[in-house]
């Protein structure tokens, strides 16, 4: 069975991908589209279907009302936050990182979960990071937000476990994306050195995992965290 003849096309499913104009979001959107899913992108970047700041709960609610029911939610929008020791981080830098990475994930889930529950089917994929498990030095704000996304995913997965709505997270190691271009070279070199495969990942490799987690092929997993780390994950 080809991608375009799969169950997603037959059921005419609709997905929302946040951060869908670049990096992992763009790769996820393209991969889902290849399965016949109708993809709507939420991003602040030009060209997005909906120009939305995911940290703005009112804007998210308005976008969700305009979009209507969806089947798949991919929470990819995120920022790397400050690259510095914890004691040098300002209140504003800490708050902004949490606003985008955690509040954004929360508000999108809150907006679209009720409709999924009503229809008895849904797939939510939240982007966490291996930093949420390991903690990366000089990225304490980012690491803390991704730990929060992992905990949110586990809680929501349990809450929806018998509803037909499955919620899982992906925890990548370093992936070649525009967001990581903003990571300081020293930090990037260090976290890349931790990967046994001795290379960074590609966005299309992660998108393959997204496609599975967003499909009917996923049936007995919820509240789980899927590492895609080139062997870095050892826990």
Just list the catalytic residues: 142
Which residues make beta-bridge pairs with 75?
18, 126
Cβ–Cβ < 8 Å for 124, 165: yes
Return d(Cα 102, Cα 114) in angstroms, integer.
19
| Helices 23-34 & 203-213 angle (0-180, nearest 10) | 50
Q: CA neighbours within 13 Å on the CB side: how many for 31?
A: 21
Three-class SS of residue 172?
A: strand
Beta strands per DSSP E along the chain: 14-18, 38-43, 50-51, 72-75, 122-127, 165-172, 224-228
Return d(Cα 5, Cα 67) in angstroms, integer.
25
Q: What are phi and psi of 34, to 5 degrees?
A: -65, -20
Run of H or E residues at 193: helix 185-193
Q: What are phi and psi of 198, to 5 degrees?
A: 60, 35
Three-class SS of residue 147?
A: helix
């Amino acid at each position: 069975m080809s991608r375009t003849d799969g169950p997603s096309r037959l059921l005419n499913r609709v997905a929302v991908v946040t951060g869908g104009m670049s990096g992992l979001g763009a790769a996820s959107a393209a991969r889902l589209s290849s399965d016949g899913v109708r993809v709507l992108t939420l991003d602040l970047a030009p060209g997005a279907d909906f120009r939305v700041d995911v940290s703005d709960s009112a804007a998210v609610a308005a976008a969700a009302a305009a979009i209507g029911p969806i089947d798949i939610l991919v929470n990819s929008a995120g920022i790397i936050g400050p690259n510095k020791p914890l004691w040098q981080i300002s209140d504003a830098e800490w708050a902004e990182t949490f606003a985008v990475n955690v509040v954004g994930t929360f508000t999108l889930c809150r907006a679209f979960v009720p409709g999924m529950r009503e229809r008895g089917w849904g797939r939510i994929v939240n982007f966490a990071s291996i930093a949420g498990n390991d903690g990366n030095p000089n990225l304490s704000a980012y690491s803390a937000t991704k730990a929060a996304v992992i905990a949110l995913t586990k809680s929501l997965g349990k809450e929806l476990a018998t509803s037909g709505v499955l919620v899982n997270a992906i925890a990548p190691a370093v992936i070649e994306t525009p967001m990581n271009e903003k990571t300081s070279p020293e930090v990037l070199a260090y976290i890349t050195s931790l990967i046994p495969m001795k290379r960074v990942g590609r966005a299309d490799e992660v998108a393959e995992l997204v496609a599975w987690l967003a499909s009917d092929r996923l049936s007995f997993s919820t509240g789980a965290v899927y590492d895609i780390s080139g062997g870095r994950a050892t826990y």
